[in-house]
Chains A and B, each alone.
Chain A
Amino acid sequence: MKNKLMPLMHRMFLIISSVLIVIPIVFTVTASFMSNGELNFYYADGGKGYVHLLPDFFSFENYKQIFITSTQYLQKFWISIGLCLTIVSGQVVISCLAGYAFIRYDFKFKKIIFTAVVVFMLLPLQATIVSHYILMEKLNLINTYWSIILPLWFSPFGVFLMRQFFSTIPNSLTEAARLDGAGEFTIFLKIALPQRKNGVVSLMVLAFVDSWNMVEQPLVFLEDTYKYPLSTLTSSLKENGMGIVFACGVLALIPTLLLFLNNQEALVDGISTSEVRKI
């Protein structure tokens, strides 16, 4: 009897937890299809005491607002896309090259530099953001996107992750290639990278998600509010009507959701590999 009870209990536990986790997201999506009138009816003044999930009337009013009527939301969306793609492409390229270097070659100061990489990786954003601000001020880059992009290109996390991924490539593989006369760069491009595609993909997803959701950097480095990306839109938008916030929420959700669903295996692999076992 015990054998039948336990799996059921595990299942129940998982089902309950996952429902709890998913509710805020589902709520946002379904609420985005409710008209402002309906939202106000159910939720104004604190609400009626339950979560009204399914729309009474399916309404595209909010989406019309953000896609057609006001241009600012789409504008911010494209700003975010441009900014994130720039950040991610630079970061991935630099991290792959450097991660490979850290594991393949021995050079002076390697251990010290890598330790510094790990230390900085474990620091919260707030620890380094001021020093970045001061530097960007000196470089006259404040209020430009480069003040955000450049530090992220050299983010220690990417290098750490790629180094971990490359460390699992057996030496025999690369030695064989070298014996066959392959140059170092060829080995990197044709063997190491394809072997560890999961690592590259997971870094892309993680870096994209992190920059897509970033709030602190735009607030600190950008002065003109018209330059702000989508992630900085606050829920104070709901002064204009609750529906827009939900629709914006869905808009902001789409790219990262698609990336996530597409690359789940790689992402899980990436997170598992990011563990620091020994420095």
Chain B
Amino acid sequence: MKNKDQNLYALAFGGIFIVGFIFFYIIPFFNSVLMTFFSNITGKFEGISNYMDVFSSTSFQLAAVNTLKFIVVSVPLNMVLAFAIALSLQKLVGKNHIFRAIFVLPLVVPALSVAVAFELIFSQGGIINTVMGQNINFINSQYSFVLFVMVYIWKSIGYNIILFMASFNMIPQSLLEAAQLDGAKPFRVTRSIRIPLIIPTIKFTFIMSIMYVFKIFRESYEIFGADPNNSIYMLQHYINNNVNNMDYIQITIVAVMIILAMLSIVIGLFAMGKDSEVSYEE
């Protein structure tokens, strides 16, 4: 097909999207980033003084630290659990559809539907406290962090499980069988064959899990409210509170920070280990 025709068809099929994407995403975003370098009030060029203001704000610092803490704790936990469940599902002969459906179910459940259920299960007279013999206030104390991590894992584990299962399916059965014939124990097989072969999936799951940390704001809003305990005050809450103040610049600065962090993680992950990666797609 001639080049001219290609451009024409591309325009016909993708034109609406590209126009809309540029108009609604690219232009507004870069416009708002540009605005962060100017003063809110006078409109004069301020350089990075707005950024300095945000960094020195204690609520921002709290939110940033909490978000980092949350990611460092819950993402590995999430991935390990998802991996274990996916592996068990893989090895299960027979109806794993029902199990799989159950694990993915939280993904489609609205935050509202389970908020009160979680509150009651974790309430001070509820079952968790009784079983542990404690009287912990999970809703509004330093232990809110624990509940929040649990809700996050509950909600997002299904997605990771499916990603892992899909990647397991791509491992050639012959490879696993050969290892077993050589006398490798199941754990060894997992460690030395499965894991190295699904490293791209592990990286992607890692990134998506971090992304989901920001999505979990919905659940947090339902269970803990807009103004939660300090232990779980995260960047999303900082942004949400500033939306009410209409402080665009602060929010965009936080957004820029988040984006830079995510981009460096993504680029770092994809650059790292590119040579040692095994491709089984070809």
Contact = CB atoms under 8 A, between A and B. Distances in A.
B231 to A, nearest CB: 20
Contact of A271 (B123, B163, B236): B163
Q: Which of A106, A130, A184, A215 counts the most B-chain CB atoms under 10 A from its CB?
A: A130
A97 B17 contact: yes
A7 B96 CA distance: 13
Nearest to A232: B112
B163 A128 contact: no
B116 A209 contact: no
A131 B29 contact: yes
A188 B13 contact: yes
| Smallest CB-CB A-B distances: 7 pairs | A46-B125, A101-B14, A124-B214, A98-B17, A249-B113, A272-B166, A101-B13
Contacts of B166: 271-272, 275
A256 interface: yes
Given A47-B126, A94-B20, A216-B217, A126 B101 contact: no
Interface in B207-228: 207, 211, 214-215, 217-218, 221-223, 225
Interface of B: 1, 3, 6-7, 9-14, 16-18, 20-21, 23-26, 28-29, 31-32, 81, 84-85, 88-89, 91-93, 97, 99-121, 123-127, 129-130, 154, 157, 159, 162-163, 165-167, 186, 200-201, 204, 207, 211, 214-215, 217-218, 221-223, 225, 235-236, 239-240, 243, 248, 251-252, 254-255, 258-259, 262-263, 266, 281
A156 B10 CA distance: 17
Contact of A124 (B28, B100, B159, B211): B211
Interface of A: 6-7, 10-11, 13-14, 17-18, 21-25, 27-28, 31, 43, 45-51, 94-95, 97-98, 100-102, 104-108, 110, 113, 116-117, 119-120, 122-135, 150-151, 153-154, 156, 159, 184-185, 188, 205, 209, 212-216, 219-220, 230-231, 233-236, 238, 242, 245-246, 248-250, 252-253, 256-257, 259-261, 264, 267-268, 271-272, 275-277
A7 B92 CA distance: 7
Contacts of B103: 17-18, 21
B258 A127 contact: yes
B200 to A, nearest CB: 6
A157 B97 CA distance: 26
A186 B73 CA distance: 51
Contact of A132 (B11, B28, B114, B200): B28
Given A235-B222, A249-B113, A123 B259 contact: yes
Given A27-B121, A43-B120, A98 B113 contact: no
A22 to B, nearest CB: 6
Contact of A51 (B84, B92, B127, B186): B127
B117 A105 contact: no
B102 A234 contact: no
A231 B112 contact: yes
A7 B186 CA distance: 12
A126 B92 contact: no
B21 A156 contact: yes
Given A105-B13, A252-B112, A275-B201, A14 B99 contact: yes
Given A101-B13, A249-B112, A276 B121 contact: no
Given A159-B21, A249-B110, 6 more contacts: A43-B120, A94-B20, A104-B13, A126-B255, A230-B110, A249-B117
B215 A124 contact: yes
A21 B259 contact: no
Contacts of A277: 200, 204, 281
A94 B24 CA distance: 14
Given A126-B235, A209-B107, A25 B114 contact: yes
A220 B243 contact: yes
B69 to A, nearest CB: 17
26 contacts: A23-B117, A25-B105, A25-B109, A46-B125, A51-B120, A51-B127, A98-B13, A107-B7, A110-B10, A113-B18, A119-B263, A122-B207, A126-B235, A126-B254, A130-B239, A150-B24, A154-B21, A156-B25, A216-B218, A233-B112, A235-B112, A246-B117, A248-B112, A260-B105, A264-B97, A264-B100
Contacts of B10: 101, 105-107, 110
Contacts of B21: 113, 116-117, 120, 154, 156, 159
Given A18-B99, A50-B130, A235-B222, A154 B108 contact: no
